[in-house]
Structure 1
């Protein structure tokens, strides 16, 4: 994986092969950040990266100047890799080793951008539980967005506060916003 833009532009980060992950493709990540770039000043926001895996999305936000990033994953190897990479590049990424659903049920941490990249094998009910918990616990700051990455074969458009989806190859990003 590579960092698309910002301070660490073009840096390649190689994750260990034994991590249970499916990193967001560079093409999809670049498209996502083009959308976000039109909405947010990256140095003014806070980010919550759920099912963080390799930390790919967290690194991109850090490279673009975001100083408040929290990455949540239940795999110790993923958390260890994110911590090592964040330290190596002096990135402001705080990690939490936790089951994401348990974290969302108890968390009071609010963010402008919440990004979730759960396993594509999740059921639609499991995918829909993410926005349900985020909005039930009021975890988005005003004007914030929840983005859930999923396969184009998964439809979560009936989930609470769904706004729109964008498709990039086999990847899809669904956007959720608090109604005004």
Structure 2
């Protein structure tokens, strides 16, 4: 096991002899650090299930300004200290339960930009550790939690306000990148996706880190276009924007989608007084039955609607002023 890159590149590290301790493979480690390459320089790092300390030392080698190492096992920490001595780093090493360590660090006012979690597989420990991080607020704004889990394990459960923003599989392992971020849902049938819908998503992105555009499937409603085509058109319209958009389809209620995805806000558009009356009733129902808050955005152009697009298409009229220019060409 060696340091892959940076000032300690090529340094051989001591490894635990206990087979129960599973060091991150070089391939997974290299892939993991590629995902966070722009976040390392000057970062404060917590290697929470440190083992040999390979992840924290790799971060220090690549330019992190400091690191704290923690592990339950005394023997593992001894190896971690030996590896730190080998590269000439003097870092704090703590022994104890992951949640207790996070609590202690939080009480001391410690903050971190990167938190590595490589706990024993198949034990659900990472979820408890992330919950402790959320409770104590030790992750700096814009910081990331890097989790390694077994491929057959379910995704790490996130507390409110935290989300898995990236997930990559490498052989038997999965690397998850989690972060504190807000999310909302923009729901509808989008038959088809219009410039009005684009504007609504843009307004939502001003308030939230992630916008879920959700195509709700109602068996009693027959859209004019197949679901696959409608979703494709939305992807075409939204690909030009720099913010994060997730396009989903869901058969069921909007509040159920929000509950499953831990989303507390829906953003809806208003074109006129009739819209407001209907949407207000729906907003009350969504809150009373699902605890989901509805935020309203006034339409930029009240004349833009999916209904108007369908009407013009039936008349073989131009729709270029109603939809994205690439969509207009396809329609």
Give the structure 1 partner of residue 85 of structure 2: 87
1:76 aligns with 2:78: no
Structure 1 alignment gaps of length 5 or more: none
Contact 1:21 1:54 survives alignment (8 Å): no
Give the structure 2 partner of residue 120 of structure 1: 121
Q: Report which stretch shifted further, 22-31 or 88-97.
A: 88-97
Give the structure 1 partner of residue 168 of structure 2: 166
Give the structure 2 partner of residue 13 of structure 1: 13
TM-score, L = length of structure 1: 0.90
Distance in 2, matches of 1:16 and 1:79, equals: 10
Mapping for residues 28-177 of structure 1, pairs under 5 Å = 28-37=28-37, 39-40=38-39, 42-108=40-106, 109-123=110-124, 126-156=125-155, 158-160=157-159, 161-162=162-163, 163-177=165-179
> Residue 145 of structure 1: SS of its match in structure 2?
strand
In our comparison, the structure showing a higher alpha carbon Rg is: 2
Report the CA distance between 1:166 and its aligned residue.
1.1
Distance in 1, matches of 2:25 and 2:73, equals: 20
> Residue 135 of structure 1: SS of its match in structure 2?
helix
Deviations 1:60-87 (A, max 9, x none): 1121122310010011111111112211
Distance in 1, matches of 2:41 and 2:133, equals: 23
Distance in 1, matches of 2:52 and 2:19, equals: 8
> Residue 41 of structure 2: SS of its match in structure 1?
helix
Contact 2:113 2:143 survives alignment (8 Å): yes
> Residue 33 of structure 1: SS of its match in structure 2?
helix
How many residues of Structure 1 are paired with residues of Structure 2 in the alignment? 176
Contact 2:118 2:148 survives alignment (8 Å): yes
Distance of aligned partners of 1:32 and 1:175 in 2 relative to their CA distance in 1, 3 Å threshold: same
Distance of aligned partners of 1:103 and 1:14 in 2 relative to their CA distance in 1, 3 Å threshold: closer
TM-score, L = length of structure 2: 0.50
Distance of aligned partners of 1:158 and 1:86 in 2 relative to their CA distance in 1, 3 Å threshold: closer
Q: Larger relative contact order (C-alpha < 8 A, sep ≥ 6)?
A: 1
Contact 1:128 1:156 survives alignment (8 Å): no
Distance in 2, matches of 1:19 and 1:68, equals: 29
Report the CA distance between 1:15 and its aligned residue.
1.7
**Which structure: greater helix fraction?**
2
Deviations 1:16-47 (A, max 9, x none): 4137410001001001111111x31x331100
Distance in 2, matches of 1:5 and 1:12, equals: 12
Structure 2 alignment gaps of length 5 or more: 182-208, 210-331
